[in-house]
Amino acid sequence: MFKQMGLLTGTAISAALVLAACGGDDEGTNGEAGGEGNGDETYEVRFLTEELEGQLQYEYAQEFADRLEEKTDGRITTDVFEFGALGSEVNQFQEIQNGNVEFAIVSPGFTGTTVQEGQLFALQFLFSDDEDVNYQVLNESEALNEGLSEKYEEYNVKPLAYWSEGGMQWTGNSPLREPADFENFQMRTQESTLIQTSYEQYGADPTPLSWEELYTSLQLGNIDGQENPIFFIEDANFHEVQDHMTISDHNIYVAMTTVNTDFYNSLPDDLREAVDEVVDEMRPIAHEMQLEMNEDLLTAIEEDEDNPTEIYTLSEEERDAFRELAEPMQDFFRDDVGEDGAAILDQLLEEIEEAEAESGN
């Protein structure tokens, strides 16, 4: 059944590849439907990421692939793809929806035109300033892991985990310390109305763009600045073409580990359990990886004498000035996305508050 779907909807990958990826070899039953299976089905699957080798999503996917192969005694083998292998970030979401790839890491910022509710991750100053609190919330939140996940499942995409790639910081060709600094500032954003409207609140002129085009746009001065976690700013070399970096921590960068729902449901029980186990094993690994990578690459930016970057950390008072303009975006989200999205947001806000209180912050 899954094999047929791949053949019917496959656009970017040849039919031959789709056949291979769906486990249709001579040995197996090709996962007719979820169940016990006969124990010898084998699957060659694809895991698509939005980043390059050495960057977090790719390293996560590679570790995930290795663990899954080991845990299933080689019955699931995975090819990990770097960003760009199958089009832009928005195209990538279509690939996982259509089942042309089985696994993908998806940034909700690129799904705002389909799963409106996913835009809640664009709300600035929503999460805690404590990454350990965020780790707990992302893993345990019912609002996300049930409410929001159901919204993605309507598009045949099942989020398996929500995880943070770290605090988001601004870079610019001019200092960014108060909202007035964003006046007429050409700000690169992902494809989400909410992200764009948020920057309009600061007076900026937001421009949605794939990150593929970002370095050149910053270099040419067509774009004045952007937001990303520190590891990405350094690894994509954005600091080379930006004079200023502001440690604003105005948001966290949330990534979703996703699986095509039909594929997941077609797996025999033991293999589906293996996938779930690997997802859980990856939670602390991803957390540690992001903390370490963001710290190490901050030092790399600080020490890069060939490309000096002025790094400025906002004070709490300075952050409050942005927070004041960002908070009304929660009502914008409620009105724009509707009742279900509003309920997900309200539940998430309670969960964050509870986790904060428990942590003693």
Contact set with ligand 6CS (CB under 6 A) = 50-51, 89, 107, 165, 190, 211, 228-229, 232, 253
CB of 207 to ligand 6CS, least distance (A): 13
Shortest distance (Å) from residue 263 CB to ligand 6CS: 23
> What residues have CB less than 8 Å from 133, skipping those under 6 apart?
127, 352, 355, 356, 359, 361
Amino acid at 252: I
170 touches 245 (CB < 8 A): yes
In angstroms, rounded to a whole number, what is the distance separating the alpha carbons of residues 87 and 95?
9
* Nearest residue (CB) to ligand 6CS, 72 versus 246: 246
CA distance 59 to 110: 21
**Least gap, CB of 78 to ligand 6CS (angstroms):** 19
Distance CA 357, CA 22 (A): 46
Smallest gap from residue 212 Cβ to ligand 6CS (A): 9
Query: For residue 231, how many C-alpha atoms fall within 13 Å in the half-sphere facing its CB?
Result: 22
Which residue number, 97 or 266, has a Cβ lying nearer to ligand 6CS?
Answer: 97
Instruction: Work out how close the CB of 223 gets to ligand 6CS at its nearest, in angstroms, rounded to a whole number.
Output: 12
Assess contact for 171 and 238: CB atoms under 8 A.
yes
Nearer to ligand 6CS, 64 or 211 (CB): 211
Of 104 and 344, which CB lies nearer to ligand 6CS in the complex structure? Answer: 104
- Quick one: 42 or 228, whose CB is closer to ligand 6CS? 228
Closer by beta carbon to ligand 6CS, 80 or else 274? 80
Which residue pairs, CB below 8 angstroms and at least 24 apart, start in 182-185? Answer: 185/224, 185/225
CB of 178 to ligand 6CS, least distance (A): 24
